[in-house]
Amino acid sequence: MSQLISLRDRKRAETWSALHGAASDLALNHGLESVTIEAVAAAAGVSTRTFFNYFPSKEDAVLGLQEPSVEESMLADFDVEADLLEQVSYLMLGVMQSIQGGESGEIRHAILHKYPHLMHRRFQYVRKVEELVAGIVTERLAASHRWASHPEPGYSVEDVARTIVMVAGAGLRNVMQKTISSPTRESQFEALDQGLDLMRIVLKELL
């Protein structure tokens, strides 16, 4: 059974890559106006119906965007009693990386440089990441005796969670800028560690 699941997942990954590859290639080499769902599906060797099983729009296919997801290992490692800014930042970066399929950061960079208006679509997915992470953090804070009783009167654990996500999000934007030309998993987590050190210094001075 596990072998069948593995083969199915591999086939799905191959189809996803073929569609994204076809869409990004058309956009870069023939212009965004040449990217139609019919053209992308034909280049990938699938039907237009299959296209919509993988992407809701041609823009998502060009950018290689996916719905945000959380790995079980991320949830297992998340410790609400530890350094919360660090914990939320790590979780948020991990989820952020899940929305971007494919291996080539250079291609994504080239597409966004050529078609900057597509950043708006990417930002919509970033908002999905923030909402997903805020929900997880809210649940963990509510289950923590320390944090459940912590908010000042008039504020809830959800307010606290959203505030932390906003602060962590500011740090992640810096990470994305620093690694825009080579956004590998390793380079982004390295940049995040450096950014967290600076953020602690800045927050200490501000507060």
CA angle 73, 135, 161 (to 5 degrees): 105
112 class by beta-carbon count within 10 Å (0-12 exposed, 13-18 middle, 19+ buried): middle
- Tell me which of 26 and 2 has the higher pLDDT: 26
Architecture per CATH, domain 2-61, reads as Orthogonal Bundle (1.10)
Mean pLDDT, rounded, for 109-127: 93
Residue 4 binned pLDDT confidence (cut-offs 50, 70, 90):
low
Give residue 1's pLDDT.
46
Q: 66-80, 97-111, 177-191 — which one is most confidently predicted on average? A: 66-80
Which residues touch 37 (CB under 8 Å, ≥6 apart)?
A: 48, 51, 52, 58
Q: Tell me: the pLDDT tens digits for 137-186? A: 999 999 998 887 766 778 888 999 999 999 999 889 888 888 877 778 88
As given in the structure block, the two tokens for residue 130 are: 């923030």
Map out the domains of the chain as residue ranges: 2-61, 72-206
- Tell me which of 48 and 171 has the higher pLDDT: 48
Q: Which residues of 91-109 are buried (b: 16+ CB within 10 A; e: fewer)?
A: bbbbbbbbbbebeebebbe
